[in-house]
A and B are shown apart, each in its own frame.
Chain A
Amino acid sequence: MSAEVAVSVRRLEVAYGDLIVQHDLDFEVERGKIFIIMGGSGCGKSSLLRVMIGLLPPVTGEVLLCGVSVWQADEAERQRLARHFGVLYQRAALWSAMTLAENVGLPLAQFTDLTAEQRREVAGLKLALVGLAGYEEFYPAQLSGGMQKRAALARAMALDPEILFLDEPTSGLDPVSSRRFDDLILELRESLGGTVVVVTHELASIFTIGDDSVFLDAETHTLIARGNPKTLLAETTSPTVRAFLTRGELVAAAHQERG
């Protein structure tokens, strides 16, 4: 396996009981890229993500993160693997009984030998990176939805993970905040250089940050397109993908104008 592959999904089938969500998924994510998993609502994007981060067992197939199989790893290997990826959950999932500093500090305490003082420093830095300097002692319930999302991003980045999984990072944010969130992801990738896997159906995000993508189809229950979103928009022959990417002609026209 090439060292440049961060995530590798092989012959994966995702199902809940008899209900097959997605089957025959085969793709690789190159290191350092922002990779979009897109598709309509209910096509299984989030379920696929849950399989990739080890929460939902697949029916068949495997997922390799940095060359380690998520579902064949033993307990010790999984522990080690957990240190190398971060997850931003759809509804932020910040621990409500802890302050933001404690939320970001907990993974640091779990996986590093930093002193309490240093952990506070690093947690403060992570919060500053997402624009939440000074909010260390706030509880999640005291923040707006957009700020909770950013705090959750800070927690996901606590350990400078090689792979960052973002589940619908901009859902529920206004267009300006959501654009700022996209810019933030680009800036962080620029300076930290990790791989980012984003599950989303927001066209604006897909075109702004996506280097590469897969399109999951809700009807055939498998992936039907693969490639850079802008290239896909220009070249795809699938009516489903075309309809998705040009939803509302205005969006498409605006995109072409921007170049």
Chain B
Amino acid sequence: MDMSSPDHQTGEMHLDRPAPDTLRVRLTGTWRLDRRLPSAEQIERTLSESRDVRRIVFDTSGMDTWDTGLVAFVLHTLRCCSDRGTVVDRAGLPRGADGLIALATAVPEKLLGGRTEPQVWIARIGLASLAAGEAVLAFARFLGEATLALARFVRGRANFRWGDLAGVIQECGPNALPIVTLISFLVGLILAFMGAVQLRTFGAQVYVADLVAVAATREMGCLMTAIIMAGRTGAAFAAQLGTMRVNEEIDALVTMGIPPMDFLVLPRLLALVAMMPLLTIYSDALAILGGGFIGLTVLGLGATQYLDRTLHALTLTHFFVGVVKGTVFGVLVALSGCLRGMQAGRSAAAVGLATTSAVVTAIVLIVVMEGIFAVVLNALGF
């Protein structure tokens, strides 16, 4: 390799007119991609200024070395000449360059109809609405298929490996404990502080324990756990399944007659359904602990007093409302993660989109479901 050849040498172009209807392009120096090359525009300009030029010839006797930089230059010239009907005589070009031009201008492959034309705005709005409707349908279809898979599981006919289930349980249960611990404890702290500031005005600081216990078990425990799981596990599901889609692993399952719903979605769904209640209870306990920490250290309440108020406020109803909500949120997180993963396109960018979309879908569904729960539980009087 001539890494050593001097860098200052560049390709140069001189134009002259050996005959009135002929333009001679003399190319000298080094015509390589890594040097600054003259633009073919000068030829274009000359052609439009002097209309009597009918023929272009090349003289490359003064050229040292060349690569495809030269070929690209000549091709540009050829293109603007064919527009004007000017004849180009390629005899003066190096032999190899002429061969490359022949190869590049050979009959190209027939174009596939893969290009998408830009749409007018009204068509874009229409298409987006149709896509939104399609997305809702897709989710409903996915929910139905998941239910069928669950039914197969109950009848013991589902085709999946228990080892996979254990792996997912390990990943979304015990491995999630540190982050759930941290967040829940902090949520308990925040609730206690917020409550204390308000309750102090009534001299009712001791009710901080009630507030923390009810808020944590009924709302915050399950909600925070679900959001953590959406970001942590839902995203992981979407990325795993999306990558499997890219590698054609899902196609391989389908062609072997193994429903991906059973083999991939079911273990993930079951794992979250099994783990979310436990994580919710754990989170409740940690939040109450966090509240107690503030109550004892900052607010100066007695330990017995705090525990007594907590036990008084905690009812089984609050506890079960939280656990049931947590379980439903777990189903939503698993479904959105798996759905987006299975729907992912076949490229790296598509897997990224699927992951983002899984988290967004899960959080939206969680909040919507939280609202539905609030209305329904209120109507039922729980």
* Shortest beta-carbon distance from A196 to chain B in Å: 15
Chain B, residues 340-355, CB within 8 Å of chain A (1/0): the string is 0000011111100000
Q: Does A235 belong to the interface (CB within 8 Å)?
A: no
Chain B, residues 309-350, CB within 8 Å of chain A (1/0): the string is 000000000000000000000000000000000000111111
Q: A129-B100, A141-B347 are in contact. Are A114 and B108 (CB under 8 A)?
A: no
Instruction: Collect the chain A residues with CB atoms within 8 Å of residue B109's CB.
Output: 131-135, 147
* Shortest beta-carbon distance from A112 to chain B in Å: 5
Q: Does B83 belong to the interface (CB within 8 Å)?
A: no
Chain A residues within CB distance 8 Å of chain B? 66-68, 80, 83-84, 96-97, 108, 111-115, 117-118, 121-122, 124-126, 128-129, 131-135, 137-143, 147, 157, 159-160, 162, 187-188, 190-193
A141 to B347, CA, bound (A): 7
Which of these, B36, B76, B114, B349, contacts A113 with CB under 8 Å? B36
Q: A128-B108, A129-B100, A142-B114 are in contact. Are A118 and B34 (CB under 8 A)?
A: no
Chain B, residues 94-127, CB within 8 Å of chain A (1/0): the string is 0011011001111011011011000000000000
A129 to B75, CA, bound (A): 12
State the majority secondary structure of interface residues on B.
loop
Is B108 within 8 A of A138, CB to CB?
no
* Shortest beta-carbon distance from A126 to chain B in Å: 7
Is A187 within 8 A of B99, CB to CB?
yes
A134 to B39, CA, bound (A): 22
Is B68 within 8 A of A192, CB to CB?
yes
Pairs A-B, 7 closest by C-beta atoms:
A96-B347, A133-B108, A66-B1, A128-B104, A142-B114, A160-B67, A97-B349
Interface bracket on B: 35 or more
Q: A125-B68, A141-B347 are in contact. Are A118 and B39 (CB under 8 A)?
A: yes
Is A138 within 8 A of B114, CB to CB?
yes
Q: A96-B348, A97-B347, A111-B34 are in contact. Are A187 and B72 (CB under 8 A)?
A: no
Q: A125-B72, A191-B96 are in contact. Are A114 and B347 (CB under 8 A)?
A: no
A188 to B106, CA, bound (A): 14
**Closest B residue to A113 using CB positions:** B36
Q: List 14 A-B residue pairs with CB atoms under 8 Å apart, sorted by A's residue number.
A: A66-B1, A112-B34, A113-B36, A117-B39, A118-B37, A125-B71, A128-B103, A131-B106, A159-B33, A160-B33, A160-B67, A190-B99, A191-B99, A192-B96
Instruction: Collect the chain B residues with CB atoms within 8 Å of residue A108's CB.
Output: 33
Is B349 within 8 A of A137, CB to CB?
no
Instruction: Collect the chain B residues with CB atoms within 8 Å of residue A147's CB.
Output: 109
